[in-house]
C-alpha cells in the first residue's frame, strides 16, 4: 500500500521531484514561461532646461530584445521623446517634476507598465552682491495667460546668491528700455518652477520709473524667508523688445517696519512709531532735518509724539543705526490735515499745493494734495446729495466710509479720478453707499484735490435735494400666491408721508402708509412707479422693476438656494474672456429676510475672485465700475467663505428681501464648487 502525501502517492511525488530538482552544482533551469519581466518604477537623473538629455530605462527578466513605448504622452516633458530601445532623449524646455507611464515589452510578448519620474531644472545665472547682469529681449513673451516660458531666448532666469554677512536688504536696480515683468520666486519652491501663478510674486517694471525692487524683512516675499536656501530665484519676462540691465545692491542697515504714515487731524494727538525689524537694543533712530517743535522725538525708541498744532506735510530723512555701526537712511513723511466745514448749497475753494500723485508719497499720505471737508447731516429732509469738484485739468474726489473714525481723509467708500471733466459723486436712496448710511453719524467726510497741473481754480460744490423719495435700492421679490405685507421707507421732505403706486400686478396694492399688501399669481417682471408725498405736498417718484417669483428675479443667473452646491469648470482667464461663460459665473440669492448667508467658494486647480453686486444693481451692470465689491480671492485648492450678514459690506440689511448677485471669475482655468450656507435668524431681520 503506497503512502500518500498531500493527496498523491509517495512514488508519484518522487517522479515529479526528478523533473524539477537540479543536479548538485548545476544552475537552475527556468522554463521560458516562468521567466518574469521586471521594469520597476524609476527616478531618472535630473535634466536641465535647454541642454541635451539622454537616459536609458531599466528592465530585468524576460527575453531580450526589449522594446519601449509611451502609454500616452501626458506628463512627458516637452522636448523629450522615448525611443523603442528605451532611451529617453531630447532637449527639455520646461522646468518641473514630471511623471509619465511607459510600457516595456520583451521578445516573448510579455509587457510591463511602469512609472517614470524626471525632474527638469533650470540653471539660472547666479548674481552676487555688486554684480550686474544685462541682455536684450527681441519680443514680448507675455499674453493674457502669462509668459511663454518656452521662448528661452527672450526670458532671463536669474538667481541672487544670499550673502553670508549681515545683509538686511537686497535692492534690484533695473535699467530697461521697455516694460518687463519680474517674477520673484517664493521661498521653498523648486528652483525655476514653471508654476508662475502660484510660485511667484509678480512685479511690473516700468522703464520710465527707474524701478528698484527691494527684498528685506518688510517686503513680500520677505528676504528672511530665503534663509534656508542659497539663492533668490528671479524670472524676467519682457512685454516688448529692448535692452535690460539689473544691478544687485546689498546693504546691512536696519529695516524700518513702516515708513509712510497716515496723517493726523489738526488738534489731535500725534503718535508715530518708527520701529525696525529684529533686535532693537542699542538702535538709535533720529533725523537731522528740521521738524516742528511740537513734534517730540525719542531717539531711543523712534517714537514721535505730540499734539498736531498746524496743518501741512513734513518730508524728512530718518536714520536708524545699530550699536555696531550698521546704518540706514530712508525718506518718510509726517502729515497733518485740517477739516473744512461745508454746507448744502455752498462752493468752497480747494487749497492744495500738489497733484494727488505728485512726489514720493501718494496723496493720502500727503495732505498737501487734498482738502478734507465735513458736511453736517443733522437735517432730516435731505434725500439726495451731489458733490462736484471742478476748476482743474484733472480732479480727485473721495468719499469716506460712514464711520470714518480717524480715516476721514481716505476715500474708501467711493473714490474717483477724472481727467479734464468735473468729478461728480451722487448719493441717494439707490446709490451705494446711500444717504441713509450717514444718518446715524449726522455728518459726512470727503476729500478733494487735483490730478492735473492746474491747482489755482480748484473748487468743490455741494448740492442737496429734499424731494421725498422711496429709501431703497430695489423692491423686495414677491413670491407667487403668498400673502405679503412689505412696508417701505421714505427719505427726504417732512413726515408723515402718503404713498401711491402704478403698475402693481393684480392682487397687490399699495397702502397709504407705504406697505405693499396682498397676493398675486402674476409671475414675471412688472414696472412699478412709486409716488411719495410729504406733509407739505412735496412729491417725488421712482420706478423699479418688481419681480414676482425667484425665476423672474434671477433671470440668467444661477439661482442658489440654502444648502445647495454648484460645480463647474472655467477654461479662460476673465481678462481674456471678457466675463464670458468660459471664465465667469453669476449666482443669484433671493433674500428671505429670515437668514444670514455664507457663500463658500472652493477652487480646485485654478484661482478665482469673488464679487458681490451692490443693492439694486442688475446682473448686467455689476461689472461696470463702482457697482460691485471685490470681496475675496480664492487660491488653488483653497476654500473661502464670503459672509452676507448685517456686519458685512455690502450690508445684508440693505438688500431687505431683494435679489443678491455674486460673481465668481477665473484668474486661470480650473474647476470650482460654490455652496450656500444659511443661518436662521429667529426673530427675522
Any domain includes 654: yes
Q: Please give the residue that has the higher pLDDT: either 36 or 589.
A: 589
Q: What is the pLDDT of residues 134-146, one digit of tens each?
A: 999 999 998 867 8
Any domain includes 478: yes
Q: Please give the residue that has the higher pLDDT: either 553 or 191.
A: 553
Last residue of a domain, one of 439, 465, 491: 465
| pLDDT above 80: residue 671 | yes
Q: Are residues 673 and 570 in the same domain?
A: yes
Question: pLDDT grade, residue 12 (50/70/90)?
Answer: very low
Any domain includes 259: no
| pLDDT above 80: residue 403 | yes
Q: Give ∠ CA 203-205-207 in degrees, rounded to 5.
A: 170
Q: What CATH number does residue 418 fall under?
A: 2.60.120
Question: pLDDT grade, residue 198 (50/70/90)?
Answer: confident
Last residue of a domain, one of 216, 251, 286: 251
**259-290 in b/e burial notation, b at 16+ Cβ within 10 A?**
bbbebbbbeeebebebbbbeeeeebebbbeee
Q: What CATH number does residue 83 fall under?
A: 2.60.40.10
Q: Which of the residue ranges 96-105, 367-376, 438-447 would you say has the lowest mean pLDDT?
A: 96-105
pLDDT value of position 506: 96
Average pLDDT over residues 320-329: 94
pLDDT value of position 10: 32
Q: Are residues 565 and 598 in the same domain?
A: yes
Q: Are residues 245 and 304 in the same domain?
A: no
635 Cβ contact list (under 8 Å, min separation 6): 198, 603, 607
pLDDT value of position 684: 59
Any domain includes 685: no
Q: Which of the residue ranges 64-68, 127-131, 584-588, 661-665 would you say has the lowest mean pLDDT?
A: 64-68
pLDDT value of position 27: 42
Average pLDDT over residues 374-381: 92
Question: pLDDT grade, residue 683 (50/70/90)?
Answer: low
Any domain includes 348: yes
Any domain includes 301: yes
Number of domains making up the chain: 7
Q: pTM, whole model, 2 decimals?
A: 0.77
pLDDT value of position 14: 29
pLDDT value of position 150: 78
Range of the domain at 301: 264-336
pLDDT value of position 603: 94
Any domain includes 256: no
Any domain includes 258: no
> Mean pLDDT of all residues in the chain?
90
Measured CA distances, 41 to 96, 117, 588 (Å):
19, 8, 50
Last residue of a domain, one of 71, 102, 121: 121
Average pLDDT over residues 228-233: 90
| pLDDT above 60: residue 376 | yes
Bridge partners of residue 590, in order along the sequence:
659
Of all residues in the chain, what percent carry a pLDDT higher than 70? 94
Please report where in the chains the cell 495732505 appears, as a residue.
367
Q: What is the DSSP secondary-structure string of 275-337?
A: -BSS--TT-EEEE-S---TT-EEETTTTEEEEE--S-EEEEEEEEEE-TTS-EEEEEEEEEEE
Q: What is the pLDDT of residues 468-522, one digit of tens each?
A: 999 999 999 999 999 999 999 999 999 999 999 999 999 999 999 999 999 999 9
Question: pLDDT grade, residue 190 (50/70/90)?
Answer: confident
Q: What is the pLDDT of residues 412-468, one digit of tens each?
A: 899 999 998 999 999 999 999 999 999 989 999 999 999 999 999 999 999 999 999
Question: pLDDT grade, residue 26 (50/70/90)?
Answer: very low
Q: Which long-range contacts (C-beta less than 8 Å, at least 24 apart) are formed by 88-92?
A: 88/44, 88/53, 88/54, 88/55, 88/56, 88/57, 88/116, 88/118, 89/52, 89/53, 89/54, 89/55, 90/52, 90/53, 91/50, 91/51, 91/52, 91/53, 92/47, 92/48, 92/49, 92/50, 92/53, 92/120
pLDDT value of position 685: 66
Q: Are residues 527 and 599 in the same domain?
A: no
Q: Are residues 532 and 437 in the same domain?
A: no
pLDDT value of position 359: 87
pLDDT value of position 682: 64
Q: Are residues 287 and 357 in the same domain?
A: no
| pLDDT above 60: residue 168 | yes
Amino acid at each position: 500500500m503506497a503512502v500518500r502525501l498531500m493527496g498523491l502517492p509517495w512514488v508519484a511525488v518522487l517522479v515529479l521531484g526528478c523533473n524539477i530538482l537540479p543536479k548538485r552544482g548545476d544552475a537552475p533551469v527556468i522554463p521560458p514561461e516562468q521567466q518574469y519581466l521586471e521594469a520597476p518604477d524609476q527616478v531618472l537623473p535630473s535634466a536641465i532646461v535647454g541642454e541635451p538629455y539622454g537616459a536609458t530605462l531599466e528592465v530585468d527578466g524576460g527575453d531580450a530584445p526589449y522594446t519601449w513605448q509611451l502609454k500616452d504622452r501626458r506628463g512627458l516633458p516637452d522636448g523629450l521623446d522615448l525611443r523603442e530601445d528605451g532611451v529617453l532623449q531630447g532637449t527639455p524646455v520646461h522646468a518641473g517634476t514630471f511623471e509619465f507611464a511607459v510600457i516595456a515589452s520583451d521578445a516573448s510578448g510579455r509587457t510591463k507598465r511602469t512609472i517614470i519620474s524626471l525632474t527638469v531644472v533650470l540653471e539660472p545665472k547666479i548674481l552676487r552682491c555688486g554684480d550686474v547682469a544685462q541682455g536684450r529681449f527681441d519680443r514680448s513673451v507675455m499674453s493674457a495667460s502669462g509668459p511663454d516660458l518656452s521662448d528661452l531666448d527672450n526670458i532671463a532666469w536669474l538667481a541672487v546668491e544670499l550673502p553670508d554677512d549681515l545683509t538686511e536688504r537686497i535692492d534690484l536696480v533695473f535699467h530697461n528700455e521697455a516694460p518687463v515683468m519680474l517674477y520673484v520666486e517664493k521661498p521653498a519652491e523648486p528652483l525655476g518652477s514653471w508654476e508662475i501663478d502660484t510660485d511667484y510674486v509678480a512685479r511690473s517694471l516700468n522703464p520710465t520709473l527707474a524701478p528698484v525692487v527691494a527684498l528685506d524683512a518688510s517686503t513680500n516675499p520677505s528676504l528672511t524667508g530665503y534663509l534656508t536656501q542659497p539663492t533668490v530665484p528671479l524670472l524676467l519676462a519682457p512685454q516688448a523688445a529692448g535692452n535690460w540691465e539689473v544691478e544687485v545692491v546689498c546693504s546691512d542697515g536696519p529695516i524700518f517696519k513702516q515708513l509712510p504714515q497716515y496723517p493726523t487731524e489738526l488738534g489731535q494727538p500725534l503718535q508715530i512709531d518708527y520701529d525696525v525689524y529684529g533686535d532693537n537694543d542699542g538702535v538709535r533712530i533720529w533725523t537731522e532735518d528740521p521738524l516742528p517743535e511740537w513734534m517730540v522725538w525719542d531717539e531711543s525708541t523712534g517714537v514721535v509724539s505730540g499734539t498736531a498744532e498746524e496743518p501741512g506735510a513734513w518730508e524728512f530723512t530718518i536714520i536708524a543705526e545699530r550699536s555696531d555701526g550698521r546704518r540706514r537712511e530712508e525718506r518718510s513723511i509726517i502729515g497733518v490735515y485740517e477739516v473744512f466745514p461745508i454746507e448744502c448749497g455752498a462752493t468752497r475753494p480747494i487749497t492744495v499745493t500738489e497733484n494727488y500723485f505728485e512726489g514720493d508719497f501718494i496723496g493720502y499720505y500727503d495732505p498737501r494734495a487734498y482738502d478734507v471737508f465735513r458736511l453736517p447731516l443733522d437735517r432730516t429732509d435731505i434725500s439726495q446729495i451731489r458733490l462736484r469738484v471742478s476748476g482743474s485739468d484733472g480732479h480727485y474726489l473721495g468719499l469716506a466710509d460712514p464711520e470714518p473714525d480717524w480715516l476721514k481723509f481716505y476715500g474708501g467708500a467711493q473714490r474717483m479720478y477724472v481727467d479734464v471733466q468735473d468729478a461728480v459723486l451722487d448719493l441717494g436712496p439707490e446709490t451705494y453707499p446711500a444717504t441713509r448710511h450717514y444718518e446715524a453719524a449726522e455728518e459726512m467726510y470727503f476729500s478733494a484735490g487735483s490730478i492735473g497741473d492746474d491747482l489755482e481754480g480748484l473748487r468743490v460744490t455741494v448740492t442737496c435735494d429734499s424731494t421725498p423719495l422711496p429709501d431703497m435700492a430695489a423692491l423686495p421679490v414677491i413670491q407667487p400666491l403668498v400673502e405679503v405685507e412689505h412696508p417701505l421707507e421714505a427719505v427726504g421732505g417732512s413726515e408723515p408721508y402718503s404713498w401711491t403706486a402704478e403698475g402693481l400686478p393684480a392682487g397687490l396694492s399699495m397702502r397709504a402708509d407705504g406697505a405693499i399688501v396682498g397676493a398675486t399669481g402674476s409671475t414675471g417682471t412688472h414696472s412699478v412707479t412709486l409716488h411719495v408725498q410729504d406733509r407739505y405736498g412735496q412729491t417725488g417718484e421712482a420706478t423699479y422693476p418688481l419681480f414676482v417669483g425667484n425665476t423672474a428675479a434671477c433671470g440668467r443667473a444661477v439661482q442658489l438656494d440654502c444648502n445647495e452646491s454648484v460645480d463647474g469648470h472655467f477654461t479662460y482667464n476673465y481678462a481674456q474672456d471678457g466675463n464670458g461663460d468660459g471664465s465667469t459665473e453669476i449666482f443669484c440669492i433671493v433674500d428671505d429676510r429670515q437668514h444670514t448667508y455664507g457663500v463658500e467658494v472652493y477652487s480646485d486647480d485654478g484661482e478665482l475672485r469673488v464679487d458681490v453686486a451692490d443693492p439694486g444693481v442688475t446682473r448686467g451692470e455689476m461689472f461696470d465700475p463702482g457697482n460691485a465689491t471685490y470681496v475675496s480671492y480664492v487660491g488653488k485648492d483653497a476654500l473661502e467663505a464670503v459672509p452676507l450678514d448685517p456686519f458685512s459690506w455690502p450690508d445684508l440689511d440693505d438688500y431687505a428681501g431683494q435679489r443678491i448677485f455674486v460673481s465668481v471669475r477665473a484668474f486661470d482655468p480650473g474647476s470650482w464648487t460654490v455652496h450656500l450656507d444659511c443661518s436662521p435668524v429667529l426673530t427675522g431681520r
